[in-house]
């Protein structure tokens, strides 16, 4: 009788346990494959060639970048599209990549930017969206390469160092003063920036 109850108390038999652990193993292996695949596709989708697969057709973004020091300079350190447009930290990156894909893929299929004219038409709206994003996150992407603390103000021209010391105090972010460092500025940008600043003060 005693024997019977102990047996009943066992939640799983040996056979069941074996079945469960083999399922668990398959689950873990599958998990690793899916996880790896997910991270791999994140990596692929974070390369300049991926960005250019769409953004080269419209010409502008890449051609314009090539005219700047962020593409070619004395020391050969260069910034690629994701360096400035995609956060480095994993969670932020995933959130931004997924939301970008949800917006950019349908817009691409609808041909939103498929000619230079269309690109120019939407340019101000796109630039504003980047300015807002970079203002909100304190221009994180810029700071991945340019460290406030490492900037030697004494080596900068006074017009830079005065502004930077001021910015360090007020917490102004890079993009608030440095617009159009990688691409041409859209028509009507000054008015748009004034509007952004007014919104920020509110």
Contact positions with ligand HEC (CB under 6 A) in 2-41:
none
Of the candidate spans 18-26, 30-38, 87-95, 102-110, the one that interacts with ligand HEC by CB under 6 A turns out to be 102-110
Among 94, 107, 193, 196, binds ligand HEC (CB under 6 A): 107
Judged by beta carbon, residue 18 or residue 188, the one nearer ligand HEC is 188
Is 130 an interacting residue with respect to ligand HEC (CB under 6 A)? yes
Q: What angle do helix axes 14-44 and 90-109 make, rounded to 10 degrees? A: 70
Is 159 an interacting residue with respect to ligand HEC (CB under 6 A)? yes
Cβ atoms of residues 123 and 65 within 8 Å: no
Is 180 an interacting residue with respect to ligand HEC (CB under 6 A)? yes
Contact positions with ligand HEC (CB under 6 A) in 57-86:
61-62, 65, 69-70, 73-75, 77, 79, 81-86
Separation of alpha carbons 44 and 51, rounded Å: 10
Is 123 an interacting residue with respect to ligand HEC (CB under 6 A)? yes
Instruction: List, as one string, the DSSP characters of 30-46.
Output: HHHHHHHHHHHHHHHTT
Instruction: List, as one string, the DSSP characters of 62-74.
Output: HHHHHTSTTTS-T
Task: Give the Å distances, CA to CA, from 145 to 9, 57, 142, 150.
Answer: 62, 28, 6, 10
Task: Report the b/e string of 7-35 with b at 16+ CB within 10 A.
Answer: eeeeeeeeeeeeeeeeeeeeeeeeeeeee
Is 141 an interacting residue with respect to ligand HEC (CB under 6 A)? yes
Is 129 an interacting residue with respect to ligand HEC (CB under 6 A)? yes
**Contacting positions for ligand HEC (CB under 6 A):** 46, 48, 50-51, 53-55, 61-62, 65, 69-70, 73-75, 77, 79, 81-86, 103-105, 107-108, 112-113, 122-123, 126-127, 129-131, 139, 141-146, 148, 156-157, 159-160, 163-164, 166-167, 172, 174-183, 185-186
């Amino acid at each position: 009788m005693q024997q019977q109850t102990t047996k009943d108390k066992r939640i799983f038999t040996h056979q069941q346990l074996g079945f469960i652990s083999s399922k668990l193993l398959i689950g873990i292996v599958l998990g690793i494959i899916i996880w790896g695949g997910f991270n791999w596709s994140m990596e692929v989708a974070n390369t300049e060639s991926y960005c250019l697969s769409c953004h080269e057709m419209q010409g502008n973004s890449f051609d314009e970048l090539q005219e700047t020091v962020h593409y070619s300079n004395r020391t050969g350190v260069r910034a690629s599209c994701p360096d400035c447009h995609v956060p480095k930290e994993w969670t932020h990156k995933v959130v931004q990549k997924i939301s970008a894909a949800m917006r950019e893929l349908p817009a691409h299929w609808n041909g939103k930017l498929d000619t230079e004219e269309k690109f120019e038409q939407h340019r101000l709206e796109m630039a504003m969206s980047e300015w807002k994003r970079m203002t909100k996150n304190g221009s994180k992407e810029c700071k991945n390469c340019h460290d406030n603390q490492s900037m030697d103000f004494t080596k900068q021209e006074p017009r830079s160092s005065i502004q930077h010391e001021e910015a360090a105090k007020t917490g102004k972010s890079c993009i608030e003063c440095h617009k159009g460092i990688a691409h041409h500025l859209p028509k009507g940008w000054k008015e748009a920036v004034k509007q952004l600043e007014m919104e920020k003060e509110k």
